[in-house]
C-alpha cells in the first residue's frame, strides 16, 4: 500500500481542476491505497458551505466531499494559514477536517509516496 | 529509477507539455525508465492527430508518438477528460491509448517517483 496525497489548490469553479481532482480521488479510493486530501490556497473554498452554482450554470459538486466517507476517504487536511487568510473557520466547512499549520502540512507531505497536485 | 508522469496542460499554451517531454528525454538518456505518461485535464490535447503547428515550430504531438515508437513509453489519455474535450479513438495520434484514471493510480503504485507537469 502506498500513501497517496491529493493536494487541492484551486477554487471549486472557474477551472475544472477541482472537479477532475475529485474524480481521481474517487478512483484512487477503489485501489485500496492510503488516500489523503489536502486543501491549501484557494482550494479551501472547495469545502465551504452554501455553494450555489445556479447562477453560472455549472454542476455543484460540493456534495461529493461529504460522500467521501462512503469511499473510506477520511483523511482531509486544511492548511490553517490558507483558511484564515480567507476569513474562514472550521464552522464554514461542509466536512470535518484536520487543520494543520503549513509546517505540519510540510511534514505530512514529506511522508507521502505519491503527491498529486491539482 | 522508474518514473510515472502526469501531464495536465495542453500543448502550445503551456510550458508543461514541453517540460514533460524534455524530462522524459533526459530521464531515458540517463538510463531511467518512464513507466507511463498519463494525460489529464487539457493534457489530453497532446494526443490529437489533428494538430498542425506551423512548419517552423516543434510538433509536440509527433514528439510524443516518437517517444512511444522509440522507447515504448506507454502514453495513456484519460477517457473522462478526453470525452469532455472531444478527444476520441479516431483522432488519436499513433502510440496513444485511451483508458481510465485507474491507469494514473496504477502508475503511482508501480513507479518509484511520480512527477507532475502542470499548473
B6 to chain A, minimum CA–CA distance in Å? 9
CB contact under 8 A, A115 and B114: yes
Find the mean pLDDT for residues A103-118.
Answer: 97
B103 SS3 class: helix
CB A21 within 8 A of CB A115: no
Name the residue among B81, B105, B114 with its Cβ closest to that of A31: B105
pLDDT in tens, B48-85: 999 999 999 999 999 999 999 999 999 999 999 999 99
Give the ipTM of the model, two decimals please.
Answer: 0.91
A74-91 core/surface letters (b: 16 or more CB in 10 A; e: else): ebbbbbbbbbeeeebeee
**What per-residue confidence (pLDDT) applies to A64?**
95
What whole-number distance in Å separates Cα of residue B71 and Cα of residue B73? Answer: 5
The backbone torsions φ and ψ at residue B60, rounded to the nearest 5 degrees and listed phi first, read: -65, -40
A24 to chain B, minimum CA–CA distance in Å? 6
Residue B28 CB contacts under 8 Å (≥ 6 apart), including other chains: B34, B71
B115 SS3 class: strand
What whole-number distance in Å separates Cα of residue B56 and Cα of residue A64? Answer: 46
Name the residue among B81, B100, B108 with its Cβ closest to that of A20: B81
pLDDT in tens, A26-63: 999 999 999 999 999 999 999 999 999 999 999 999 99
What confidence tier does B41 reach under pLDDT thresholds 50, 70, 90? very high
- Does residue A78 have a pLDDT over 90? yes
What whole-number distance in Å separates Cα of residue A79 and Cα of residue A40? Answer: 5
Bridge partners of B3, per DSSP, are B34, B113
- Does residue A112 have a pLDDT over 90? yes
CB A73 within 8 A of CB A112: no
Catalytic residue among B78, B82, B93, B104: B78
CB A78 within 8 A of CB A100: yes
Amino acid at each position: 500500500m502506498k500513501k497517496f496525497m491529493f493536494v487541492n489548490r484551486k477554487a471549486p469553479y472557474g477551472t475544472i481542476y477541482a472537479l477532475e481532482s475529485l474524480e481521481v480521488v474517487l478512483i484512487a479510493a477503489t485501489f485500496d491505497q492510503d488516500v489523503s486530501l489536502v486543501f491549501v490556497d484557494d482550494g479551501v473554498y472547495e469545502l465551504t458551505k452554501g455553494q450555489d452554482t445556479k447562477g453560472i450554470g455549472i454542476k455543484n459538486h460540493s456534495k461529493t466531499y461529504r460522500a467521501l466517507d462512503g469511499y473510506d476517504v477520511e483523511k482531509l487536511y486544511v492548511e490553517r494559514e490558507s483558511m484564515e487568510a480567507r476569513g474562514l473557520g472550521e464552522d464554514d466547512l461542509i466536512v470535518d477536517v484536520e487543520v494543520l499549520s503549513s509546517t505540519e502540512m510540510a511534514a505530512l507531505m514529506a511522508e507521502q509516496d505519491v503527491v498529486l497536485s491539482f | 529509477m522508474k518514473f510515472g508522469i502526469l501531464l495536465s496542460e495542453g500543448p502550445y499554451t503551456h510550458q508543461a507539455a514541453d517540460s514533460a517531454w524534455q524530462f522524459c528525454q533526459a530521464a531515458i538518456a540517463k538510463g531511467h525508465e518512464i513507466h507511463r505518461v498519463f494525460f489529464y485535464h487539457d493534457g489530453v490535447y497532446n494526443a490529437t492527430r489533428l494538430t498542425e503547428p506551423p512548419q517552423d515550430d516543434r510538433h509536440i504531438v509527433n514528439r510524443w508518438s516518437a517517444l512511444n515508437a522509440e522507447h515504448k513509453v506507454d502514453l495513456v489519455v484519460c477517457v473522462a477528460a478526453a470525452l469532455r474535450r472531444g478527444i476520441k479513438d479516431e483522432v488519436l495520434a499513433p502510440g496513444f491509448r485511451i483508458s481510465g484514471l485507474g491507469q494514473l493510480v496504477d502508475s503511482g503504485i508501480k513507479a518509484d517517483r511520480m512527477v507532475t507537469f502542470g499548473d
